[in-house]
A and B are shown apart, each in its own frame.
Chain A
């Protein structure tokens, strides 16, 4: 009996899964040349046709699944792959090699595709270079069918299992029947990786960035994936399994009970109502938004379209997605956040060779990239304004640090209005425009920002990181990252007061808004809106509905006098014990 072992990674998608392991390794298939006889040529042709047909069938089902689960825009990722399978010129080349050189089908196919792939990889056009990996994927799929290998293809998962991989492509992941994949673990990737984004969209518990797990996995009976804490347990003992099963059951019952009040407002006992909305980034998540009883979308991460497709979306693609989202939640609002990309991602697309930042979080990011690339930014603004004719849209900007940036943004917006006016395009000029408050400088000048804007949304993850100068991902200093640091609460308070004194609403869309312990304080400080992942939304609503606004306000007054994080946390715990003891047990 092997020992229970614990591995930590990054909590990429919440939830708990217990089940057998399927190791998904993308083995690189390389086939050798075999000479065939003249009378075997027809046989090789038939094998080739069969493999192409099966691969087409696989890709079509992947395409359908992507369209359904993620969004129509994303299904196009597979289109070029499908077309290349129907490429008569390519198939003819393969057949010629089989017939004239007497090569076996797999070798002939491998060589022909490898030739194209190499040419694409050497292309000067980055959009075309990106297609090289698609061609590689097609080649591998066809070879697998030719070799009738069973391993390595997700279609072959029989019972509900946990996938453990080095890395996973979107097309690998989405092809699976949701019921067959109950958990995901990958050795690479972060919270913004394809896999993490899609896992959250599909509500599959996931842990990413677990180093060297595959090599250490033997013939495990089952493993446990804890997507809340970013932990993977191998060879769990009976006691641990029971404990997690109990927890899983508990969570399920609790979640079911929460959905019963999905149509009730997020309102305190004494009648103070806030807006409780969702953070999402893919059309496939709309279902979760509706199921959770969310009041619209408080943060739509528009960069997911870019991250998943790995190319800049066109205006039409963006417009189609924004319109779909807006129509789906109308009359409730959706707040689109303009592209929030890091310099590393953008530099690859823009082919800035050798562009490397020593301090990316203080570098070329988010609104800075947009202001530096007017065409890219205006394309997005045009798509959003065009979609504004179809729903209740608001627009906000990430990483604003100064008033000048807001003025620049507004100048771009005016230019977009003029373009749309001259084209006679229908749009709504009066949509609300706001900013994320996630840089301390923005909180400190919230007063002057409020004069120019219609709302604030506090992004706590970055705000805390910048205020405390702590990288949460760095194990040596992460203990210094404190949600409840008095300075953080001061910045939040300043922002709310500045907003309210200018009659604009103030919300919060960071992880802090999803922390049950902090909800009473946030209500007491006077936030008008909380935007959280749809997975935790019902729980937050339940807490709001059991609170009393006046008591929360007293709590907030007391808390602002405390001088240390420890005192603040202790006080919040006491408050919860006293008023919502049953919530504390979760």
Chain B
């Protein structure tokens, strides 16, 4: 099962170390493969270095792609986390 969604980064300094850490902690709980896509870059959402390399700024839109049994739940929780500033602000 493949699902897609979209999040908007609302953190003042973008998806930097702490929000990225919060995201990776969340995605790692799911069995699905999860990817983030921004511009031409696609990274593994369970990889802290991958997420950092994405360097998503405040206000940018990031596509989320999940494939697996819990894909839908994963996307909905990732959206919620992004809306809550990744729990850091």
**Chain B residues, Cβ within 8 Å of A90:** 47, 49
Nearest-Cβ distance from residue A141 to partner chain B, whole angstroms: 15
Q: Which of A98-139 contact B (CB under 8 A)?
A: 116, 119-120, 123-125, 127-128, 131, 135
Q: How would you classify the secondary structure of chain A's contact residues: helix, strand, loop or mixed?
A: helix
Q: Which of B38-67 contact A (CB under 8 A)?
A: 44, 46-50, 52-53, 55, 57
A80-B48 in contact given A120-B53, A128-B14 (Cβ < 8 Å) = yes
> Across the interface, do B18 and A76 meet the contact criterion of CB distance under 8 Å?
yes
> Across the interface, do B14 and A125 meet the contact criterion of CB distance under 8 Å?
yes
> Across the interface, do B18 and A84 meet the contact criterion of CB distance under 8 Å?
no
**Bound complex: CA A128 to CA B16 (Å):** 6
> Across the interface, do A87 and B47 meet the contact criterion of CB distance under 8 Å?
yes
Nearest-Cβ distance from residue A411 to partner chain B, whole angstroms: 23
Query: Interface extent on B, as a size class?
Result: 20 to 34
A79-B21 in contact given A89-B50, A316-B88 (Cβ < 8 Å) = yes
Q: Across the two chains, which residue of chain B brings its CB closest to A91?
A: B47
Nearest-Cβ distance from residue B14 to partner chain A, whole angstroms: 5
**A83 within 8 A of partner (CB):** yes
**Chain A residues, Cβ within 8 Å of B21:** 79-80, 83
**A315 within 8 A of partner (CB):** yes
**Chain B residues, Cβ within 8 Å of A86:** 48
**Bound complex: CA A89 to CA B14 (Å):** 22
**A158 within 8 A of partner (CB):** no
The interface centre, meaning the residue of A80, A120, A315 with most chain B CB atoms within 10 A of its CB, is A80
Nearest-Cβ distance from residue A60 to partner chain B, whole angstroms: 15
> Across the interface, do A116 and B18 meet the contact criterion of CB distance under 8 Å?
no
**Chain A residues, Cβ within 8 Å of B17:** 79-80, 127-128, 131
**Chain B residues, Cβ within 8 Å of A315:** 89
Q: Which of A293-348 contact B (CB under 8 A)?
A: 311-312, 314-316
**Bound complex: CA A89 to CA B43 (Å):** 10
**Chain B residues, Cβ within 8 Å of A311:** 13, 16
A127-B47 in contact given A79-B21, A119-B53, A316-B89 (Cβ < 8 Å) = no
**B7 within 8 A of partner (CB):** no
**Chain B residues, Cβ within 8 Å of A88:** 46-47
Q: Across the two chains, which residue of chain B brings its CB closest to A312?
A: B13
Q: Across the two chains, which residue of chain A brings its CB closest to B44?
A: A89
**Chain A residues, Cβ within 8 Å of B24:** 83, 87
**Chain A residues, Cβ within 8 Å of B50:** 87, 89
**Chain A residues, Cβ within 8 Å of B57:** 124-125
**Bound complex: CA A366 to CA B21 (Å):** 32
**Chain B residues, Cβ within 8 Å of A128:** 14, 16-17, 52, 55
A interface residues, tally (CB under 8 Å):
25
Nearest-Cβ distance from residue B38 to partner chain A, whole angstroms: 12
**Chain A residues, Cβ within 8 Å of B48:** 80, 83-84, 86-87
**Bound complex: CA A207 to CA B24 (Å):** 41
Q: Across the two chains, which residue of chain B brings its CB closest to A314?
A: B89
> Across the interface, do B53 and A116 meet the contact criterion of CB distance under 8 Å?
yes
A87-B49 in contact given A124-B55, A315-B89, A316-B89 (Cβ < 8 Å) = yes
> Across the interface, do A89 and B89 meet the contact criterion of CB distance under 8 Å?
no
Q: Across the two chains, which residue of chain A brings its CB closest to B48?
A: A83
Which of B13, B18, B44 is within 8 Å of A125, CB to CB? B13
**Bound complex: CA A311 to CA B17 (Å):** 11
Q: Across the two chains, which residue of chain B brings its CB closest to A126?
A: B13
> Across the interface, do A127 and B49 meet the contact criterion of CB distance under 8 Å?
no
**Chain B residues, Cβ within 8 Å of A89:** 44, 46-47, 49-50
**Bound complex: CA A573 to CA B55 (Å):** 62
Nearest-Cβ distance from residue B25 to partner chain A, whole angstroms: 8
B64-87 interface bits toward A, Cβ cutoff 8 Å, 1 = contact, 0 = none: 000000000000000000000000
Q: Across the two chains, which residue of chain A brings its CB closest to B50?
A: A89
| For the complex of A and B, 10 pairs with smallest distance between CB atoms | A89-B47, A127-B16, A83-B48, A80-B17, A89-B44, A123-B55, A116-B49, A119-B53, A127-B13, A125-B55
Listed in ascending order, the chain A residues whose CB lies under 8 Å from chain B are 76, 79-80, 83-84, 86-90, 116, 119-120, 123-125, 127-128, 131, 135, 311-312, 314-316
13 additional A-B pairs beyond A87-B50, A116-B49, A128-B52, beta carbons within 8 Å, are A76-B18, A83-B21, A84-B48, A87-B24, A89-B47, A90-B47, A90-B49, A125-B57, A127-B14, A131-B17, A314-B12, A314-B88, A315-B89
Listed in ascending order, the chain B residues whose CB lies under 8 Å from chain A are 12-14, 16-18, 20-21, 24, 44, 46-50, 52-53, 55, 57, 88-89
Q: List 17 A-B pairs, Cβ < 8 Å.
A: A79-B17, A79-B18, A79-B21, A80-B52, A84-B48, A84-B49, A87-B49, A89-B44, A119-B53, A120-B52, A123-B52, A124-B55, A128-B14, A135-B49, A312-B13, A314-B89, A316-B88
